[in-house]
Amino acid sequence: MKSLHIRGVPEPTIDRLKRRAARHHRSLQGELLALLEEAAQQFSADDEEAFELLTVKTGRRQPWTRGEIYEDDAR
């Protein structure tokens, strides 16, 4: 599992996060992980950036998203 290290967090922010963690009956680490997971889940297929595929035969570029190529909602 990967780790993150955030420097320069103001003390009042840490205090508020600790209080929030206590309200949710979590450790500070557990609360931060829950916040990160929630933020990551808010990413939707609509936010997905299109990318261009180069068609070899025609040499044209066309924007596509993963969902358009695979006809699914996977991320």
Of 10-14, 26-30, 45-49, 58-62, the least confident? 45-49
Measured in residues, the chain has a length of 75
Confidence band, pLDDT 50/70/90 cuts, at residue 40: confident
Instruction: Give SS3 for 49.
Output: coil
Q: For CA atoms 8, 12, 17, 22, give the dihedral sign.
A: positive
Going from N- to C-terminal start, the domains of the chain cover: 11-41, 45-75
Kindly report the backbone phi and psi dihedral angles of residue 67, in degrees, each rounded to the nearest multiple of 5, phi listed first.
-60, -35
pLDDT of 57 higher than 80 = no
pLDDT of 25 higher than 90 = yes
Averaged confidence pLDDT in the chain: 81
